[in-house]
Amino acid sequence: MALLEIKKFGCPTLRKKATPVQDVTDEVRQLVADMFETMYEAEGVGLAAQQVGFTERLLVLDVRPRDPMSEPLAFINPEILWTEGECVGEEGCLSLPEIVGDVKRPAQVQVRALNENGSVFEMTLDGIAAKALQHEIDHLNGVLIIEHFNAIKRNLLRGQLRKLQREGKKQAPGLTYV
């Protein structure tokens, strides 16, 4: 396994829409393993492929720090089937360090995806798992949390975002091992 470089705001890969994974190969499984390792090292609960320089439609989640009964999950080609309810909560992002803000999302989601063995599964998530899944799917669509912030909040963060953007633009858009 290898640690991957987490791309920061300003890196063009973060704004690219992910392409579906055609076949779950050993390379895809290795990417999943590397993404879990990178996420754990960064103390995150979710990570999308764009955040480590890939444009494949895959993400990993492990919300056990906030929900000890959950388990680590990989979602390849995730598709939200339905949502229900509404919740507002503070979110942060590994690609936007030290940037946090309130985001309104559905409280419960049902998702269909492939696992790392290529098998289709469906599950319903709520709480932190639903929030994290939606956050990572936003990444797969090239959307960052700051787009969910109101104009006043974005204006207050302008200086921090400019600094991050300068750093992110210096990062190679493709795969880079740390």
Longest dimension (CA), the chain: 46
Q: Taking a C-beta distance cutoff of 8 angstroms, is the pair 4, 53 a contact?
A: yes
The Cα–Cα gap between 152 and 154 comes to 6
Kindly give the pairing relationship between strand 46-48 and strand 58-61. Answer: antiparallel
Q: Taking a C-beta distance cutoff of 8 angstroms, is the pair 162, 99 a contact?
A: no
The residue from 37, 136, 147, 167 that is catalytic is 136
The Cα–Cα gap between 27 and 128 comes to 29
The answer to whether residue 136 is catalytic is yes
Q: List the structure tokens of 4.
A: 């991957």
Q: What is residue 45's three-state secondary structure?
A: coil
Residues with catalytic annotation? 136
